[in-house]
Amino acid sequence: MSENFPPVTNQPTYQPASKDSTLAILSMVLGIASYVVIPVLGSLAAIILGHIAKSEIKKSNGALSGNGMATAGLVLGYVQWALIILGIVVLILVFGFVRRNGGNWY
């Protein structure tokens, strides 16, 4: 009663490498560019593409990677927007102070 079993090998099975999400790459690149070249539009695009990329990666069931790049794009985009809003608030306060003091800075 001997049964024929296939030979056992110690070689790992082939698993194709997961492909990086293009949207995640774009989100990270635009997040970096928002500090150098295009502050408002770059950060807005980084946020939008980052959210879309994270959704795309989750739905791909492991076929796509790049979750870290999408997160980096999101963080860079949101921090840039926080800095933009902070800068606007500071400008409003400075101009209000100058206006209240009759145009004198001192």
pLDDT in tens, 64-89: 999 999 999 999 999 999 999 999 99
pLDDT in tens, 16-47: 777 999 999 999 999 999 999 999 999 999 99
4-19 burial, b for 16+ CB within 10 Å, e for fewer? Answer: eeeeeeeeeeeeeeee
Q: Residue 35: what pLDDT? A: 94
SS3 65: strand
Cα separation, 12 vs 89, in Å, equals: 58
Whole-model pTM? Answer: 0.78
Q: Residue 95: what pLDDT? A: 86
Instruction: Compute the residue count for the chain.
Output: 106
Cα separation, 15 vs 97, in Å, equals: 64
